[in-house]
């Protein structure tokens, strides 16, 4: 009797899980923009709006500068930092699947390697600028900088999950 009860419970759990997965997939598909619509990209992906990113960047930099209470001696380091951290006017273009299909495997590897090198160069510039600014800060300013920049190291931020409004055209909270 207990064995039959356990088997039924397992079956009910599997059916419930399958239903939840089905409902989740249906809800996700319902929220995807139609193919060819603005914001619809390959596999439902879309690119951030550069104008919104610039507005977010400007607000973030203004807030950080206010919190740091920089002196006139620190302005040069701040300007270099802000310039290095500026988002590109147009994000790097990822190769389309159709373009990659035309390449051989070694050519695809070289193309993707080139993109990784470009990304690493941008990150190196960011790191150098942040370290230069940090060196120009006082100990109390460094504490503020440490706290304010910590959130940008979180996995959620790196995956773009903390600023979904940058992608959807919603106002900043």
**pLDDT tens-place string over residues 75-122:** 999 999 999 998 887 777 778 888 888 999 999 999 989 989 988 999
Q: Is the pLDDT of residue 27 over 80?
A: no
Task: Return the percentage of the chain with pLDDT > 70, whole number.
Answer: 59
Q: How far is CA 87 from the centre of its chain?
A: 12
Q: What is the pTM of this model?
A: 0.58
Higher pLDDT, 110 or 12: 110
Residues near 82 by Cβ (< 8 Å), separated by ≥ 6?
61
Q: How many whole angstroms separate alpha carbon 83 and alpha carbon 86?
A: 5
pLDDT class of 165 with cuts at 50, 70, 90: very low
Per-residue confidence (pLDDT) for residue 51, from 0 to 100: 83
Residues 112, 117, 122, 124, CA torsion sign: positive
Q: How many whole angstroms separate alpha carbon 121 and alpha carbon 103?
A: 25
Q: Is the pLDDT of residue 2 over 60?
A: no
Mean pLDDT computed over every residue of the chain: 74
Ramachandran bin of 69, using left for φ above 0, alpha for ψ from -120 to 50, beta for the remaining angles: left
Residue 136 CB coordination number (10 Å): 19
Residues 139, 143, 148, 153, CA torsion sign: positive
The pair of three-digit structure tokens given for residue 91, joined into one six-digit string: 């994000």
Q: How many whole angstroms separate alpha carbon 67 and alpha carbon 85?
A: 18
Q: State the average pLDDT over residues 62-78.
A: 94
Give, for 66, the enclosing helix (H) or strand (E).
Answer: helix 50-68
pLDDT class of 59 with cuts at 50, 70, 90: very high
């Amino acid at each position: 009797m207990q064995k039959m009860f356990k088997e039924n419970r397992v079956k009910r759990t599997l059916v419930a899980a399958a239903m939840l997965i089905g409902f989740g997939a249906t809800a996700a598909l319902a929220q995807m923009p139609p193919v060819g619509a603005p914001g619809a990209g390959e596999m439902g992906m879309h690119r951030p709006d550069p104008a919104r990113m610039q507005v977010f960047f400007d607000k973030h930099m203004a807030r950080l500068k206010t919190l740091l209470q920089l002196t006139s001696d620190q302005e040069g380091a701040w300007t270099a930092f802000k310039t290095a951290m500026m988002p590109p006017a147009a994000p790097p273009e990822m190769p389309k699947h159709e373009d990659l299909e035309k390449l051989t495997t070694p050519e695809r590897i070289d193309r993707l390697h080139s993109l990784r090198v470009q990304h690493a160069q941008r990150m190196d510039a960011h790191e150098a600028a942040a370290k230069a600014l940090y060196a120009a800060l006082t100990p109390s300013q460094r504490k503020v900088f440490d706290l304010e920049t910590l959130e940008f190291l979180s996995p959620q931020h790196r995956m773009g999950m903390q600023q979904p409004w940058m992608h959807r055209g919603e106002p900043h909270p």
